[in-house]
Amino acid sequence: MPDDARAPRPAPAVPPPLIPRGKELLPGFARRRIAVGGVGIDVATAGSGPPLLLLHGNPLTLVSWHKIAPSLAQGFTIVATDLRGYGDSDKPEGGGDHSAYSFRAMAKDDLAVLRTLGFERFAVAGHDRGARVGFRMALDHPEARAECIRCTTPAQMHAVCEDHRATVSVDLAMDSEDFGKKTIACPVLVLWGSNSRGGRHFKVLDAWAPWAPDLRGWAIPTGHDPAEHRPDLVYDPFWRFFAGGEPVPFAG
């Protein structure tokens, strides 16, 4: 069979309407557990079309995408994971240098998940820590990227703490080593909440610009969790961008 016959059909350029939220958080999603490198990763999948990996932030889980994931599944194969240390995924020891919770380790997990599911190239959308995992994946594994973008147990509290320790130690060292040497080869869309800490205190696009030559993005009127606060303002640009078009900036 020729390669183009096996390729997923492209998503329509214009998104269908956002599906109204019902009683079930992720209707139509199948849950499974995939072991990668000795770590079990909890995975939710739905839809058909080009593969799109959704990576949650801290201290959330894959369910944090519930307001837009079912709608995106109308045109994409959605793969949402619990990062190692979060939700129902395994929570290994961090190690002496905390590198088991580095963004590189998490990126390797999710790359292996997608390859286990049969996807060699895929798009990524990440929130908070998930965005940093996607960032590291784009630098370490550019061949895989098409486009970028609760603590209830002692084990999870340990994992979340190790995640933060890794950020200011091994992750910072990796980023410092790559700064000025590597850039993200794929197109990048950055959305942030105008009332989030980042939106209030930082020039977000200026921070991304040295890393992402093909960059676009804008603030939307939310706090730290745009997909939760205003799913309508996240869903439309996500769809258009991951379908290969240019999303329309929020005009206020």
- Domains annotated for the chain, with CATH where assigned, are 28-242 (3.40.50.1820)
Express each pLDDT in 101-138 by its tens digit: 999 999 999 999 999 999 999 999 999 999 999 999 99
How does the average pLDDT of the chain come out, rounded?
Answer: 91
Instruction: Calculate the alpha carbon distances from 179 to 108, 136, 174, 207, 210 in Å.
Output: 20, 12, 9, 12, 8
Q: What are the residues whose beta carbons fall under 8 Å from the beta carbon of 97, sequence distance 6 or more? A: 169, 170
Poorest-pLDDT segment among 17-21, 39-43, 149-153: 149-153
Residue 204, pLDDT score: 94
Angle between helices 103-116 and 129-140 (to 10 degrees): 70
pLDDT category of residue 6 using cuts at 50, 70 and 90 = very low
Predicted confidence at residue 163, as pLDDT, reads 84
Task: Compute how many other C-beta atoms are within 10 angstroms of the C-beta atom of residue 55.
Answer: 28
The helix (H) or strand (E) run that includes residue 201 is helix 197-201
pTM for this model (two decimals): 0.91
Q: Which two tokens stand for residue 213?
A: 């030559």
Quickly state the pLDDT bin for 177 (edges 50, 70, 90): very high
Cα–Cα distance measured from residue 52 to residue 148, given in angstroms and rounded to the nearest whole number: 10
Span 23-50, mean pLDDT?
96
Residue pLDDT, tens place only, 26-37: 999 999 999 999
